Copies of this chain bind each other. A is one copy, B any other.
Amino acid sequence: MDMPLNTDSTIRDDGNPGWCAKCPARPGSFCAAVPDTHIETLERSRQTLRFNRRQMIAAQNNRATSIFNITSGVVKLSRATADGRTQIVDFRQAGDLVAFPESKRHVANAEALTNVTLCRFSRPRLARLLRAFPLLQAQLLTMSSRALTAAEDHMVLLGCKGARARVATFLLRRWRQSRRSEPGLVESVNLPMTRAELANYLGLTTETASRVMNGFAREKIVTLVSARTVDLLDLKALQVISESGR
């Protein structure tokens, strides 16, 4: 019943000890709930997967036989609609889970937007981990709740903001996220997705997204360094625009 994913990942099951201990994604992620003292148990339950840009990681409706914790890169989650269109529902990155372990099948497609490394936990191993470390259960709930809150934020964006506010909000969100991970390069924002993907995520067309971005550039609110890099010149202005309606 499952559609095979023709693009296979490199499975590097490196028994490399000490990997988790120095994993930069661990704090604030799923595995943070496993105490350092039992880190070897965590490592034994885990498998490293690498995907190249544009490889599929999981397909909607396929059996979810494992859960994936992102350790680097950006993953696009999208859903197919009944009439063949597609809606991007989230971009996930280091520390995020690709899917939550509750549904037997994937509810979305997951695609690598950059080169991506993940930790894979098979269901049986995950179950054993959850039994061994009950805090993990709570951690999963926390992450799920956070994702729900983020989804609601996005519903607000889609439900009551205009094109300029949507793009401004998006740029600011990305900026805040990148600040956390790389505190240098203050005003520079990286966009691993195409304009079409950005637009789709924001409920706009490519053309509108492009026009808004270039509009911001003309107004000296941002500089379009390249298609994938934007410098934010006027955060205050972006903030104001992001809070406006349609």
Question: Hey, which chain B residues are within 8 Å of A85, CB to CB?
Answer: 160, 245
Which of A79, A148, A160 counts the most B-chain CB atoms under 10 A from its CB? Answer: A148
Total contacting residues, chain A, CB less than 8 A: 41
Chain A: residues with CB nearer than 8 A to chain B? 79, 81-83, 85, 87, 89-90, 100-103, 107-108, 134, 137-138, 140-142, 144-149, 151-152, 154-156, 158-160, 200-203, 243-245
In this complex, what residue of B is CB-closest to A153?
Answer: B79
Question: Hey, which chain B residues are within 8 Å of A83, CB to CB?
Answer: 243-245
Q: Is B145 a contact partner of A103 (Cβ separation < 8 A)?
A: yes
A168, chain B: closest CB distance, angstroms: 12
A98, chain B: closest CB distance, angstroms: 13
Q: Is A103 a contact partner of B151 (Cβ separation < 8 A)?
A: no
Question: Hey, which chain B residues are within 8 Å of A148, CB to CB?
Answer: 100, 144, 147-148, 151
Q: Is A141 a contact partner of B137 (Cβ separation < 8 A)?
A: yes
- Closest A-B pairs by Cβ, 3 of them: A158-B158, A151-B151, A102-B145
* CA of A107 to CA of B11, assembled, Å: 40
Question: Hey, which chain B residues are within 8 Å of A141, CB to CB?
Answer: 100-102, 137, 140-141, 144
Q: Is A79 a contact partner of B151 (Cβ separation < 8 A)?
A: no
* CA of A149 to CA of B89, assembled, Å: 10
